[in-house]
């Protein structure tokens, strides 16, 4: 018997498939994790808004049957702030990439975290500008090659989770497409959070980052994630030499702070109390 894939009801039918993503790209795996997380939490699609910027990952809103807003490069979080503040009942997910969120959109990223606007920010980190052909991004590790770094980059990379926590985010976690079960749980936690919540999803780009840095095909790049990531809890028990050079995954920060729209409602109440 043929049964419908459980994620199918959340996808938009018709001419939008196949996706723009290359074979072996990790973004579809992240999309699947997001859909399952939303389904498990039982959030009605009509209340879901997916806002994105520009780049490979930012094409996701077209495929998912939510209210969707594909904005301009770097500005997704600023648009999403307007959506959420205008209608706090809406559940707002921001889909963004390493270039979109941390270079052109870096200012909006830190300020939304500082305000603690209730946004679930899924940052699909592939360490490269994919859409434009493989230029280096704020998360390209120093020395790695890109089309604009033919001899390797001279720049240090951002840690998006540390940046978000420093700026005031109430939740920050890093997962991988290799560890998609764990990633889905992180997204579920982030969606349930009231405040600015970041999930950084490490998503390989075999077409550009992988090719330019001779990392092998998609399977090898996902294998690399398995071998080079350590969960934060496990890492805490290991001596430093065992964790050197590894990427730490897991939930780094989970705090309770009154969210922005709730604080603003207090301002409305105060202003209306003073009204003659």
Partner 1 sequence: MSADIRLLQGNEACAEGAIYAGCDFFGGYPITPSTEVAEEMARLLPRHGGKFIQMEDEIAGIATMLGAGAAGAKAMTATSGPGFSLMMELLGYGCMAEIPAVIVNVQRAGPSTGLPTKGAQADMMQARWGTHGDHPAIALCPSSVAESFSLTVKSFNLAERFRMPVQLMLDEFIGHLREKVTIPAPGELEVYTHPRPSVAPGEYRHFGDGTSVGGAYAAMGTGYRFNITGLTHDPMGFPTGRTDEIRWKMDRLRAKTDDHLPELVDVEREFLDDAEVVLFAYGGGARTAQEAVRLARARGIKAGLLRPRIVWPFPDQTVADALAKAKAMLVVELNQGQLIGEVRRVNQGGTKVVPVLRYDGEIITPDELMTAVEANR
**Residues in contact with partner 1 by the rule CB under 8 A:** 12, 15-16, 45-47, 49, 51, 61-62, 65-72, 75, 78-83, 85-87, 89-90, 107-108, 111, 264, 267-268, 270-272, 274-275
Beta bridge partners of 124: 97, 201
Residue 214 or 275: which CB sits closer to partner 1?
275
- Asked if 25 contacts 5 with a C-beta cutoff of 8 angstroms, the reply is no
Residue 112 or 205: which CB sits closer to partner 1?
112
Residue 109 or 178: which CB sits closer to partner 1?
109
Distance between CA atoms of 65 and 88, rounded to whole angstroms?
20
Q: How far is the CB of 243 from partner 1 (least distance, A)?
A: 35
Q: How far is the CB of 167 from partner 1 (least distance, A)?
A: 11
Residue 63 or 178: which CB sits closer to partner 1?
63
Residue in 81, 148, 126, 74 with CA at minimum distance from that of residue 104: 74
User: How many other C-beta atoms can be found within 10 angstroms of the C-beta atom of residue 1?
Assistant: 2
Residue 16 or 242: which CB sits closer to partner 1?
16
- Asked if 101 contacts 109 with a C-beta cutoff of 8 angstroms, the reply is yes
Q: How far is the CB of 210 from partner 1 (least distance, A)?
A: 26
Distance between CA atoms of 276 and 274, rounded to whole angstroms?
6
Burial 207-240 (b: 16+ CB within 10 A, else e): bbbbebbebeebeebbebbeeebbeeeebeeeee
Q: How far is the CB of 25 from partner 1 (least distance, A)?
A: 18
Residue 111 or 211: which CB sits closer to partner 1?
111
Distance between CA atoms of 250 and 243, rounded to whole angstroms?
14
Q: How far is the CB of 132 from partner 1 (least distance, A)?
A: 15
Q: How far is the CB of 11 from partner 1 (least distance, A)?
A: 12
Distance between CA atoms of 58 and 68, rounded to whole angstroms?
11
């Amino acid at each position: 018997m043929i049964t419908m894939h459980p994620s199918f009801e959340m996808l938009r039918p018709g001419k939008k498939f196949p996706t723009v993503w290359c074979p072996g790209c990790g973004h579809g795996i992240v999309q699947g994790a997001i859909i399952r997380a939303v389904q498990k939490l039982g959030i009605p699609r009509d209340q879901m808004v997916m806002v994105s910027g520009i780049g490979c990952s930012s094409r996701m809103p077209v495929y998912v049957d939510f209210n969707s807003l594909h904005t301009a490069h770097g500005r997704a979080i600023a648009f999403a702030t307007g959506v959420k503040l205008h209608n706090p009942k809406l559940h707002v997910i921001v889909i963004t990439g390493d270039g979109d969120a941390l270079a052109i959109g870096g200012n909006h990223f830190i300020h939304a975290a500082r305000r603690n606007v209730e946004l679930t920010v899924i940052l699909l980190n592939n360490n490269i500008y994919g859409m434009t052909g493989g230029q280096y991004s704020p998360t390209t590790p120093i020395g790695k090659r890109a089309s604009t770094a033919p001899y390797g980059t001279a720049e240090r990379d951002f840690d998006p989770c540390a940046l978000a926590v420093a700026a005031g985010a109430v939740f920050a976690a890093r997962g991988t497409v290799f560890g998609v079960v764990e990633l889905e749980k992180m997204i579920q936690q982030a969606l349930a959070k009231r405040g600015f919540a970041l999930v950084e999803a490490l998503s390989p780009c075999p077409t550009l980052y992988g090719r330019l840095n001779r990392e092998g095909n998609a399977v090898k790049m996902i294998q690399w994630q398995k071998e080079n990531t350590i969960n934060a809890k496990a890492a805490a028990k290991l001596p430093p030499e065992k964790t050197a050079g590894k990427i730490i995954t897991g939930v780094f920060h989970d705090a309770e702070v009154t969210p922005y729209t709730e604080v603003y409602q207090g301002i409305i109440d105060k202003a209306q109390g003073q009204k003659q």
